[in-house]
A = this chain, B = another copy of it.
Amino acid sequence: MAEDFSLGTVKVALSPLARLEEYLRSRGMRMTQQRRCLLDHVFSRHEHFDADSLIEQMPSSGREGHVSRPTVYRTLNEFVDAGLLRRFQLGGRSMYEHDYGYPQHDHLHCLECQKLIEFKSDELLELRSHVARENRFHVTGHRLIISGICEDCRRGQRRMRRRAGVG
């Protein structure tokens, strides 16, 4: 219990699994195969994803480890509540990314290939609290997406990806 886990760059006291267990226990909810499968899958890589691409990547119906569509949606909502995932909207669909153990960041969004590029900016956080103070506003979070064309696409490798998903 004294070990620190490093996911991305933020040190956290618990693994995502332990964190989920804690969350579930505190709410009288149960740890199930489905929740564990989804957690494993989601935290096995740092990636932006939507419900659909997650479902595609998981074992398909009938196979070991399959999770039904409604359960995927339900569980993603739980993970967001548990502080494990962050949700944001991109082009009308919900996108998810790691929240727990992963530093706050923002995105460049390529309109050509849909790629998301992460960046971090302390200035933005300053700007945020400055604006909030001016407007007597109590900030809980923010979302900045800068859209445009990435370098690869400007060089001509166009329309190579259809969905967001960053390596």
Residues of A whose CB lies within 8 Å of any CB of B are: 89-92, 94, 108, 110-111, 117, 119, 121, 123-124, 127-128, 131-132, 134-151, 154
Contacts and interface: CB of A to CB of B under 8 A. Distances in A.
18 contacts: A89-B91, A108-B131, A108-B132, A108-B137, A111-B140, A117-B137, A123-B127, A124-B124, A127-B127, A131-B146, A135-B150, A136-B150, A136-B151, A138-B148, A138-B154, A142-B144, A143-B143, A144-B144
Given A136-B151, A137-B146, 14 more contacts: A89-B92, A108-B131, A108-B132, A121-B127, A123-B127, A124-B127, A127-B127, A131-B146, A135-B150, A137-B151, A141-B146, A141-B148, A142-B145, A142-B146
Contact of A135 (B90, B119, B134): B119
Copies of the chain in the assembly? 2
A129 to B, nearest CB: 10
A104 to B, nearest CB: 13
Given A92-B89, A131-B119, A146 B139 contact: yes
Contacts of A142: 144-147
A135 B108 CA distance: 9
Contacts of A137: 108, 110, 117, 146, 148-151
A151 B90 CA distance: 28
A144 B147 contact: no
Nearest to A112: B138
Closest 5 CB pairs of A and B: A136-B151, A89-B89, A139-B148, A142-B146, A144-B144
A6 B124 CA distance: 31
